[in-house]
A and B are shown apart, each in its own frame.
Chain A
């Protein structure tokens, strides 16, 4: 089955630690995205990538980093510089940028 997979579903992190969220897709999509969701604020774009080895900052990139070494994978690292990292993180992919995006099931990150 084709789809987009995020792991883990739940993640706990101590303050001051970096943590990496996984996102894998087997849809052969070129574009991939990371969004952050907070209650009542909708989705805010963190980073996006149109093609392998290329990515751009979204609206709230500070404190986050990404890589796109393979077409299928777009991991997101939440660094200790992110001041308020507790949130629901959603990864998405699309055939090309701007077309319909398909979402993973999300990772809920909690800083303890």
Chain B
């Protein structure tokens, strides 16, 4: 089946690293995405990784993909108060060429000063 799971809440102190985890079920996923949502707003694409990659780094963001375990993580280095938001992972469904995006429930990141 199609399912993406995330923990619901993470709290860190400013300056620490944050690691947000996600598991997915479809081994045929082509792309995996991380989105950020601030209160009352739409989703902003942060980064994505192609399914044949293990790691992708983009400034303070590092994405790790363990395809064997179907586990995706987003690490935010030197977390700032402005990083407080809800973070969604999403997988692109390749099976049947539907290509639709399936989202997790979102992880609320709270950054304490």
Contacts and interface: CB of A to CB of B under 8 A. Distances in A.
Contacts of B92: 98-99
Interface in B70-113: 88, 92-94, 98-106
B31 A105 contact: no
Contact of B42 (A48, A50, A106): A106
Contacts, number: 63
B94 to A, nearest CB: 7
Nearest to A102: B45
A2 interface: no
A97 B100 contact: yes
A106 B44 CA distance: 12
Nearest to A6: B42
A42 B35 CA distance: 12
A65 B106 CA distance: 26
Contacts of A108: 40
Contacts of B104: 42
A109 to B, nearest CB: 14
Of the listed residues B4, B42, B44, B104, the one surrounded by the most CB atoms of chain A closer than 10 A to its CB is B42
Given A31-B99, A45-B100, 4 more contacts: A45-B101, A92-B43, A101-B33, A101-B45
Interface of B: 4, 8, 30-31, 33, 35, 40-45, 48, 88, 92-94, 98-106
